[in-house]
Amino acid sequence: MDETTAESKSAALYARALQVLPGGVSRNTVLRKPHPLYVDHASGFRVTDIEGVDRIDFANNMASLIHGHAHRAIIEAVTEQLSKGTAFTLATEVEIRYAEHLTQRNDGFEKIRFVNSGTEAVMASVKASRAFTGRSKIAKVEGAYHGVYDYAEVSQTSNPGNWGSAADPVGVPVAYGTPSAVLSDVVVIPFNDPELAVAILDEHLGELACVLIDLMPHRVGLSPADPAFVSALREWTESDGSLLVFDEVITFRSQYGGAQNWYAERPDLTAMGKVIGGGFPAGAIAGRSDVMDVMDPLAENVLFPHSGTFSANPITMTAGLAAMTLFDAEAVEQVNALATRAIEGITEAITATGATACVTGGGSMFRVHLKARPPRNYREAYADAQETARRAALVEYLLDRGFIMINTCSATISTPMGVEEIDALVDAVADGLERYATA
């Protein structure tokens, strides 16, 4: 199955793309050697590329498609709305209906505002925190990805050569030219180490607007946060007068009301995205009424004026409402059970093959690491050049076997999937581990 020859349709498309797009793409995640694959069509859990190759999709557009591709109910709802219009300088009822739906999924969502992406939701959460507290600094977990906002991306790609000591992590920029003032306004804390995290935070009492955390950060290893870690941050922020912000852009799919349902604590604000768009670009910020009201344009003193041309556009609202209505408690349980089956199956395969590997995850997502033990933080999850190359080879092998994975060898489950698809992936991973993760 080799569609990567110079004569392929994909190669020809990529040659054109290189002339008009930096690197030939608009997002780096679709890059692969010698060129990206280009989609012809998709349905359910299957994607067919322009060479006619059919694969099972465990990437689901970076965890954003909970119902897979071209779900009939979503298509029908969106098609009906398309005939009425796509965006207006007027309000729509569907925005209200969708807000009502999302707020009833989580008792901590007292009010909500819609934006256009997960990145934008995190940006709005940080800015709302600053407006509410009157403080400028934020704290975030080392290695955690929160989108492309300067402040939220600090130390997202740090490495052993620049990350400093564990007790005093260095704020490392991602993009060249990041202002030094950004780095001085971001406090970096370790994941799942409550004592060390609190010790670092204590050095900034009264300075922080918020502590921003992802409850199961993908790049930090896709392991759920320890309850003790979440509790420590909740206690610290309440004592300090700062806010606790959860980034549930990826993890909201994990439970009916988000991954925060795993914990006793509730954040002040939650940023969401991905699955809530029903396949369209979407984001939302939800939380306490008094905090959300910093965006209230009817207030005498508007602390955070907020708007956006395509925020709450009726196409996204219609698709999102259709998708999340379908993603009820029973559907959540269904996909989570399939992920558990996959994790257990891969763990058994690791034992059977003697591979140096482990698997982490929660909810409807999991990740295969070519490490002996599950990483607990970013420094343990960090992969050197050799491990990165072996992982890339494993992902490429799975692609050749007919499975699309996220490039970290992570997978997400969609509702059209069943036991057959899970077991087929487990078998392929077992074969791949024998090739790339055994002595």
Q: What are phi and psi of 271, to 5 degrees?
A: -100, 135
- Helix boundaries (H) for 213-260: 227-240
Q: What is the DSSP letter of 138?
A: E
Length of the chain equals 439
Q: Is 33 a known active-site residue?
A: no
Q: How far apart are CA 424 and CA 398, in angstroms?
A: 11
Residues 247, 268, 371, 378: which is the catalytic one? 247
Residues 127, 274, 371, 436: which is the catalytic one? 274
Q: How far apart are CA 400 and CA 406, in angstroms?
A: 14
For the beta carbon of residue 234, count every other beta carbon within 10 angstroms. 18
Omega of the bond leading into 34 within 30 degrees of 0 (cis): yes
Q: Is 187 helix (H, G, I), strand (E, B) or coil?
A: strand
Q: Classify the phi-psi angles of 401: left when phi > 0, otherwise alpha if psi is within -120 to 50, otherwise beta.
A: alpha
Tell me the torsion sign for CA atoms 332, 335, 338, 344: negative
Looking from the CA of 81 toward its CB, the CA atoms found within 13 Å total 23
Q: Where are the beta strands (DSSP E) in 183-230?
A: 186-189, 208-213
Q: Is 274 a known active-site residue?
A: yes
Q: Which one, of 97, 86, 24, lies nearest residue 281 by Cα?
A: 86
Q: How far apart are CA 114 and CA 271, in angstroms?
A: 10
Q: How far apart are CA 250 and CA 236, in angstroms?
A: 25
Q: How far is CA 163 from each of CA 5, 189, 190, 379, 385, rounded to the nearest angstrom?
A: 41, 11, 11, 9, 17
Q: How far apart are CA 35 and CA 25, in angstroms?
A: 10
Tokens 């698809």 belong to residue: 421
Diameter of the chain measured on Cα atoms: 68
Q: Is 382 a known active-site residue?
A: no
Q: Classify the phi-psi angles of 276: left when phi > 0, otherwise alpha if psi is within -120 to 50, otherwise beta.
A: alpha
Residues 14, 145, 263, 436: which is the catalytic one? 145
Find all residues with CB under 8 Å of 349, minimum gap 6, and list them. Answer: 355, 426, 429, 430, 433
CB 375 within 8 A of CB 408: no
**The token pair that represents 3 in the structure block:** 């569609």
Could you give the residue numbers annotated as active site? 145, 247, 274
